[in-house]
Amino acid sequence: MINRTAYDVEVGEMSEQDAAEVFDGITRRELGIDGPEFLDRWDAGEYQSTDRDDLDGLSEVVAAMSLVR
């Protein structure tokens, strides 16, 4: 579904596949690992005691998690 705004900007929805690909690209760029690997590590608690500002790219990846979760 595409909606037009008052500023003539098109807004569309991403498929789950597209969202997963975008998330994967972000995790690869920011942390050097793929999206599923990051999620496995996240679920295992690997980043639980890591301050998001202490690991370059972690805050960006966490912010993008809403694409896949």
**Residue 11: strand, helix, or coil:** strand
CA distance 29 to 34: 9
With respect to residue 21, please indicate whether it lies within any of the assigned structural domains: yes
What's the mean pLDDT when you consider all of the chain?
92
Position 3 scores a pLDDT of: 65
CA distance 67 to 22: 8
With respect to residue 47, please indicate whether it lies within any of the assigned structural domains: yes
With respect to residue 3, please indicate whether it lies within any of the assigned structural domains: no
With respect to residue 2, please indicate whether it lies within any of the assigned structural domains: no
Q: Quote the number of domains for the chain.
A: 1
Position 1 scores a pLDDT of: 63
Rounded percentage of the chain residues whose pLDDT exceeds 90: 78
Domain that holds residue 24: 15-67
**Greater pLDDT, 52 or 6:** 52
What's the average model confidence in pLDDT over 7-12? 81
- Pair 3, 11: CB distance under 8 Å: yes
Beta-strand pair 10-11/3-4: antiparallel
With respect to residue 4, please indicate whether it lies within any of the assigned structural domains: no
With respect to residue 8, please indicate whether it lies within any of the assigned structural domains: no
